[in-house]
Copies of this chain bind each other. A is one copy, B any other.
Amino acid sequence: MKKVPHRLYLTEDQMPKQWYNLRADMPEQPDPMLNPATLKPATEEDLYPVFCKELAHQEMDAETRYIDIPEEIQEMYKIYRPSPLIRAYNLEKALGTPAKIYYKFEGNNTSGSHKLNSAIAQAYYAKKQGLTCLTTETGAGQWGTALAEACAYFGLDLTVFMVKVSYNQKPFRKAVMQTFDANVIASPSDTTNAGRQILAADPNTGGSLGCAISEAIEKAMTTEGCRYVLGSVLNQVLLHQSIIGLESKIAMEMLDEYPDIIIGCAGGGSNLGGLIAPFMQDKLTGKADPRIVAVEPASCPSLTRGKYVYDFCDTGKVTPLARMYTLGSGFMPSPNHAGGLRYHGMSPILSKLYHDGYMEAVSVEQTKVFEAATYFAKYETILPAPESAHAIRAAIDEAIRCKETGETKTILFGLTGTGYFDMTAYQAYHDGQMNDYIPSDADLQKGFDGLPKVD
């Protein structure tokens, strides 16, 4: 066993030069996306009005196992990567667990999260195609900030539709995005047909990622030289985010370690899909058999209580249909503070893997998440984002189980980002004002009732 430092950073030479495409090793592929007009499988060309060509290609490419990361993207990755693999010595000690806890920390950049990994790639390909502007949605604001950074760097205009509840809870997120010259609009807004329809139905809605997606797509499709980009859910995003898992695996190999359990928070699946990619490859190819655990909020439990069916990716029902675990695109999550996890669906790749038994899922309640976040902050001196703290909660629970059983398991979790813009939520937790909302079966049924009929 090698001496394990608190923080391990790869050198630039050790950084991955290729992304890993998990689909190439899946024994069964996720079901194809369907064109909502024809209900036939969508083609790459069907996606061109929405995505730039290279990204449409990556979205459909299930064969190419390794895809070269363009030099320009590698160069920008080097500005903030590699991210550290951290051994949580202090947390282990505080818990008194025999488990070894590692976490991959993606918060050391101004977007405050892993989202920058895909934002850079998507902005790069758009610029390369000669486009001049992008639109997107953002929940917690991390994706919007990441994309604003990437667009500022590559010189693209950007309009961000920000889920209204996050827009109000995180007043300074807007200012950060504006620092990078983004145009930020609270969603639902009166600037799109999709937004106006949702507002007409419920003027007081806090919005949702699904709804903001509808607005961003509409804006992109009605603006010259503009395309839409998405920070999660999509196959292309999981591809770009594989950098997280690839770096983690190289670092763990340097330490002669291999995780018994890999844990990630799951909203749309971008972090989880990226973190687990090369470990899932081992599992799919029979080289190793780690447990892989998705953690979602009890308030928005797409994997643990959703249905594995075809659904729209957005509330406005303009996207292709994807087969995924979903609560129904009409499901409007409660104003849970983990804005980045308030999505009705789940990455089709992860949905398929979960459906086929390759991974587990747990849901956790908000106050238990903030309890873990606060505990973690004290011992590891990083203030986690509420989204990331879902994974912390599950990792702590696993470590406590190890304490009870005496097992020396190796746990790896993804710490996706920092909580500097989530202090309203932390304050609510400190003040005992935080509620745990768990949707009833009847609440969920309303979402299911709106599912599209696909035979």
Contact = CB atoms under 8 A, between A and B. Distances in A.
Contacts of A379: 153
Contact of A420 (B152, B378, B421): B421
Q: Give the number of copies in the complex.
A: 2
A378 B430 contact: no
A48 interface: no
A7 B172 contact: no
A80 B179 contact: no
A205 interface: no
B382 A152 contact: no
B378 A110 contact: no
B383 A176 contact: yes
Contacts of A380: 79
Interface string A114-151: 00100000000000000000000000000000000100
Interface residues of A, number: 42
A378 B180 contact: yes
Contact of A381 (B153, B172, B423): B153
A9 interface: yes
A140 to B, nearest CB: 14
B423 A110 contact: no
A355 to B, nearest CB: 37
Contacts of A65: none
Given A79-B90, A426-B175, A180 B377 contact: yes
A9 B180 CA distance: 27
Nearest to A378: B152
B179 A374 contact: yes
Given A11-B5, A420-B420, A377 B110 contact: yes
A78 interface: yes
B423 A176 contact: yes
A29 interface: no
A423 B109 contact: no
A430 B179 contact: yes
A267 B328 CA distance: 55
A168 interface: no
B109 A179 contact: no
Interface string A389-419: 0000000000000000000000000000010
Contacts of A179: 374, 377, 383, 426, 430
Contacts of A90: 79, 153
A73 to B, nearest CB: 13
A78 B6 contact: yes
Interface of A: 5-7, 9, 11-12, 78-80, 90, 108-112, 116, 149, 152-153, 171-172, 175-176, 178-180, 374, 377-383, 418, 420-421, 423-424, 426-427, 430
22 contacts: A5-B12, A6-B12, A9-B9, A79-B380, A79-B381, A109-B382, A111-B381, A112-B420, A149-B377, A152-B378, A153-B378, A153-B379, A171-B423, A175-B423, A175-B426, A175-B427, A175-B430, A176-B383, A176-B423, A179-B426, A418-B420, A420-B420
Given A175-B426, A178-B430, A179-B374, 14 more contacts: A5-B11, A6-B78, A6-B79, A7-B9, A9-B9, A110-B418, A153-B381, A172-B420, A172-B427, A176-B383, A176-B423, A176-B426, A179-B377, A418-B420
